[in-house]
Structure 1
């Protein structure tokens, strides 16, 4: 167990302390970090609980920022995730099994140690748990601590997770969480019509992996009802039907952190800031930004087609290629590839990139954080989902909001370089998509302006924390 240096002076004694617990994966950690900053800005003290593995990576990725974060009342602690240092945390089944086996007991011990070390000074007022860590709500209830659940994915996916038993009873999925019959379904008349391909836990790998995810959620989803608040990084405009279906779920988005800070917070990879200077040298609305999150992997053929497709557009591009992608899959750039117009980085400061005037479009895996960040900057999407909730997010972007396009794969499942070039040109020349993107940006940002609906919901939550 690791606890960073913390304030113990009497001046902290009257500040409510909120313990926040993200699922140990990049997208969840990043979302919770931005949420924690908003709480700290409103005068609350935060204890941010990471896995030990992710804690070390996050501290290393922004070493120079730690002092300012301690001053902003955010403290960092860590507990083991149950895996060894060299074990593969991209193996979803292995991670889920280890988390459920190891972290509950360690969290309960941590809470006791915090109180024991600091007395009433750091008495935890509330635990905000990731909906993927529902077991923490059971611990909070057992210890008499107030409770809130925060969804790091969209409201529609939260509604799916909350409706597991109903979906089994209605014959949509079997007892292993797998769709019984492929096709459309509807949780209720007030919910959007969905397709079984969008059931996210069935899209995280093979059968065993999907079943492990389903069993994990089924075990802890019932704990959601122990939470006094359900919160989600979304807005009424994005998901009116799903929020109507679950009126307890309050939208408090979009929260993304500042796009003006030197480095983004909550990142497990060190950001290459040189791309910002490179963007400054590009014409307005000219650059294709391609980034696929922390899990996406391409086979060698697809990797080469993507490289060629970006080059064939004859436009400047910024492409994020994680170091672990080439290390694990041995991907190589095509022999005939030059990338004269492009820049490749291992990890990008995405909020700053998407807000840059040089960006023309976003080729994205459609993770929820990336979706929110792109929408809030009015950037049109080219959607390339990899797994899980990203499948539905693509549908939301392309079919519901109509601010993006998807790619079509060939008979071998490959998105060709020609398809990439064709869709880039189609998107960039579509003035209707551009206009809708800018209009949606204005609507989303109005939610967090003074008096906006998300802003008012967040204020109510903060007021409750301070009572």
Structure 2
């Protein structure tokens, strides 16, 4: 009997990276591969606690993240520095241990593109090397152009923004302001420098990758894939392509909200979710609450732990009582199932890439409230390229006010073209992952390559 290819996969240790990497691995298992998934001990424990049943088709192993138990894992600088210092040695030891004790040796490493050192390690060990980019291909293209931005005098050698200007790499690619470049979204200069240096190092390391696969679809970013033929779209990777349920959540999903959605009218509900990192201040949070109240529409709002800067979630006085009959608040939702529900009318989102492709795959129009990093870029896709959503304007105090929220909701629901364009894009994107579609063909070629080299 032929040995199964044994793939070791390592995501960057954040929720938005773990979920698509897990989806990718579930698809590989379905296609006859063996997968060992490497999480940090901290994230592994969170995932195990949030699962209703253990996902035993993937061999899940852990490495320490380099932080003490009491240290703050929401501090990206501290986490990244510790992770990069400790994990390379642990990963090498892990691979060597598996290959000494397991007759089914690791033959391939799939590493998050942000972990370029893992590709260097795989090359050193003589293994197949695959970089996985979990965000839009356009945002990777922008990172690959960092050296050119330095040469052009837009960015300094330490990542400082020397010229404030619009950057447009390709005619149909969203415009990005130089001040919105990934590393510049952080307020801590040390973290800015760390992310900037990481981009330079990863640009070198990714040259060692034999494949660079993206959780995107040719339909969504046609021009980027035409201009960067090494980037291969295999997405969107959704639970429906794997084993039917989302894996890798850090919080337990509140599935009762699905029964609540069953009782709402078709295409009526505003789903409000800002991912795993967004942090609101109390003024923004209260304006959002009052804006949802003003819409007079049913809403399902995900308010996770740590969602606002202040430790306690403080709703406007009387808000809960006044919206009790049409509002539902949950700490974490089964997002893909929620977005697929017929009662959903629109998605008020931070525009993280996972949320973006999930909304697109369900034919939903968007209300865009990006927070940082590639979310600003994704908002440009939604509003300017695909034309399936609206952004919010900030007032003189830099806040998105309740009236602005109410007005944009009315505008979106009042113009059927947003829904029509969303449904058209949905059809094209879903056809790309069906048999014969572009992502389907790319994924099949990828699996065949892994098996041929085993």
Deviations 1:70-95, CA, capped at 9 Å, x for gaps = 2x3x1101101111222222211111
Alignment of 1:201-240 (within 5 A): 201-240=183-222
Q: Indicate the SS of the match to 1:235.
A: coil
Partner of 1:410: 395
Aligned with 2:252 (options 270, 275, 285): 270
Return the match for 1:455 from 431, 440, 446. 440
Kept in 1, the 8 Å contact 2:280–2:308? The answer is no
Aligned to 1:51: 40
Describe the SS at the equivalent of 2:195: helix
Report the 3-state secondary structure (helix = DSSP H, G, I; strand = E; otherwise coil) of the residue aligned with 1:323: coil
**Number of positions where the alignment pairs a residue of Structure 1 with one of Structure 2:** 449
1:57 Cα deviation (Å)?
0.5
- 1:195 to 1:91, Cα distance in 2 relative to 1, 3 A: same
Q: Structure 2 vs 1, CA of residues 409 and 259 (structure 1 numbering), >3 Å: closer, same or farther?
A: farther
In 2, Cα distance between the equivalents of 1:232 and 1:177? 25
Match of 2:340 in 1: 355
What is the rounded CA distance, in whole Å, between the counterparts of 1:164 and 1:287 in structure 2? 41
Partner of 2:17: 28
CA root-mean-square deviation: 1.8
Task: Say if 1:322 and 1:15 are closer, same or farther in 2 by CA, change over 3 A.
Answer: same
- Greater shift, 362-371 or 219-228, is seen at 219-228
Q: Calculate the TM-score normalised by the size of structure 2.
A: 0.95
Corresponding position of 1:110: 94
- Measured after TM superposition, the shift of residue 330 of structure 1 is 2.8
- Structure 1: unaligned runs, 5 residues or longer: 1-10
1:196 & 1:181 partners in 2: Cα distance? 7
CA shift, 1:110, in A, is: 0.9
Q: Is the 8 A contact 2:282 2:308 kept in 1?
A: no
Kindly tell me: are residues 417 and 260 of structure 1, through their superposed partners in 2, closer, same or farther at Cα, counting changes over 3 Å? farther
For residue 306 of structure 2, give the secondary structure of its aligned residue in structure 1. Answer: helix
- 1:272-351 to 2 correspondences below 5 Å: 272-325=254-307, 328-337=310-319, 338-340=322-324, 341-351=326-336
TM-score (ref. length: structure 1): 0.93
Q: Distance in 2 between matches of 1:217 and 1:80?
A: 24
User: Would you say the 8 A contact 2:392–2:400 is kept in 1?
Assistant: yes
Which residues of structure 2 form unaligned runs of 5+?
A: none
Give the alignment partner of residue 71 of structure 2, picking from 87, 93, 107.
87
* Contact 2:282 2:310 (C-alpha < 8 Å) held by counterparts: no
Q: CA deviation at 1:259?
A: 9.0
Q: Deviations over 1:248-279 (max 9, x none)?
A: 11111111113997852110111001100110
In the alignment, the residues of structure 1 paired with residue 230 and residue 244 of structure 2 have an alpha-carbon distance, to the nearest angstrom, of 36
1:392 aligns with 2:374: no
* Distance in 2, Cα, partners of 1:208 & 1:410: 31
